């Protein structure tokens, strides 16, 4: 266990796994001074995803914490709350079998400027299941051979919001909002296969099973074998961690260097989360 100290708070940091993830305790996210925010941000950049437990945050406090870390932005497919449009509900109900975003992915990489980070706050949980897994794309890149790194460093990838495996995880949410009669808008963006993190300077793989359709300038058929290898490689057990939620748990992950996958193993129960995404930059 390591520790990070601010002027007013002693933060205990317990790594969750070797490559990614840490739980921060000794903190109340509703009452933070600037030094504590700086300490949290440093820990987050080191561990890629950080978790906080037992946080009593209403919508105002949740949004206020998000604004201490970045700039909240609206999600393109699901309408936020009327009073807090930057907050969306991510829910799976007892009668549903498909969960929202239930595939390995980085959030909305089909946008020209994907989000820097995402925050998820647990509101209602099943009696078991519903964990989320995270993968370090730093570790995935670092473990590649020098020859493959050299090849990938020169490639771009085409990312789409319309790939079937992820589109179906949004259908219930879109239908609930009464927009099923209209063809949903599709987004397409080309980004480097290997991006350099703008704050740490480290290289990370930046392709994911949910959104990456092909390498730029190649057909999907030509791209598929190498992409499928990279998807399998990126989620090797030693690159991942797994978080078990409790009511009041909050996760903050770095969308620029991590993937995540909410596990769909709680049919017949409700899982209700609130989510905020934070504005990012153009990957380079």
Q: Which domains does the chain have, with CATH numbers?
A: 2-278 (3.60.130.10)
> Does pLDDT of 186 surpass 90?
no
Residue 131 has pLDDT above 90, yes or no: yes
Looking at residue 167, what is its pLDDT?
A: 53
pLDDT value of position 165: 57
pLDDT at position 129 is 97
Alpha carbon distance 155, 178 (integer Å)? 40
Average of per-residue pLDDT values in the chain: 91
Count other C-beta atoms under 10 Å from residue 222's C-beta: 12
Strands (E) in 16-68, as ranges, are: 22-25, 49-52
Q: What is the pTM of this model?
A: 0.91
- Angle, vertex CA 160, rays to CA 157 and CA 161, nearest 5: 150
pLDDT band at 78 (very low <50, low <70, confident <90, very high): confident
CA torsion through residues 120, 121, 125, 129, sign = positive
Residue 81 has pLDDT above 50, yes or no: yes
More confident residue, 178 or 226: 226
Give yes or no for residue 58 having a pLDDT over 80.
Answer: yes
In 3D, which of 75, 17, 8, 79 has the Cα closest to residue 47? 17
User: What confidence tens digit (pLDDT) does each residue in 243-269 have?
Assistant: 999 999 999 999 999 999 999 999 999
Side-chain-side CA neighbours of residue 186 (13 Å): 11
Query: For residue 8, what pLDDT is reported?
Result: 46
Residue 133 near residue 101, CB atoms below 8 Å: no
Q: What string of DSSP letters covers 75-113?
A: -SSS---SS-TT-EEEEE-TT--S-TT-SSB-TTTTSSS
**Does residue 280 register a pLDDT over 80?**
yes
Indicate the range of 14-23, 126-135, 166-175 predicted with least confidence. 166-175
* SS3 (DSSP) at 54: coil
Can you point out the beta strands (E) in 179-234? 188-192, 194-196, 203-205, 212-215
Catalytic residues: 105, 107, 260, 275
Q: Given this model, what pLDDT does residue 77 score?
A: 81
132 forms bridges with which residues in the sheet? 243, 262
- Helix 34-47 and helix 59-69, axial crossing angle in degrees, nearest 10: 70
Sign of CA dihedral 179, 184, 185, 187: positive
Q: Is the pLDDT reported for residue 135 higher than 50? A: yes
């Amino acid at each position: 266990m390591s520790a990070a100290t601010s002027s007013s708070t002693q933060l205990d940091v317990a790594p969750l796994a070797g490559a990614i993830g840490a739980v921060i305790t000794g903190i109340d996210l509703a009452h933070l001074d600037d030094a504590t925010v700086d300490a949290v941000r440093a820990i987050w950049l080191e561990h890629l995803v950080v978790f906080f437990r037992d946080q009593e945050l209403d919508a105002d406090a949740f949004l206020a914490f998000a604004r201490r870390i970045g700039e909240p932005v609206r999600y393109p497919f699901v309408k936020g709350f009327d009073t807090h449009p930057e907050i969306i509900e991510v829910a799976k109900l007892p009668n549903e079998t498909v969960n929202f975003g239930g595939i390995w992915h980085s959030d909305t990489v089909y946008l020209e400027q994907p989000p820097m980070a995402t925050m998820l706050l647990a509101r209602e949980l099943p009696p078991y299941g519903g964990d989320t897994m995270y993968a370090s794309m730093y570790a995935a890149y670092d473990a590649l051979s020098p020859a493959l790194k050299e090849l990938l460093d020169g490639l771009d990838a085409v990312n789409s919001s319309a790939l079937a495996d992820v589109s179906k995880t949004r259908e219930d949410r879109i239908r609930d909002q009464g927009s099923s009669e209209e063809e949903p808008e599709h987004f397409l963006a080309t980004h480097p296969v290997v991006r350099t993190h703008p704050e740490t300077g480290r290289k990370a793989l930046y392709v994911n099973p949910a959104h990456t359709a092909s390498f730029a300038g190649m057909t999907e058929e030509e791209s598929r074998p190498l992409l499928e290898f990279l998807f399998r490689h990126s989620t090797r057990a030693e690159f991942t961690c797994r978080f078990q939620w409790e009511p009041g748990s909050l996760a903050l992950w770095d969308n620029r260097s991590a993937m995540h996958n909410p596990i769909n193993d709680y049919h017949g129960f409700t899982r209700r989360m609130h989510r905020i995404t934070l504005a990012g930059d153009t990957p380079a």
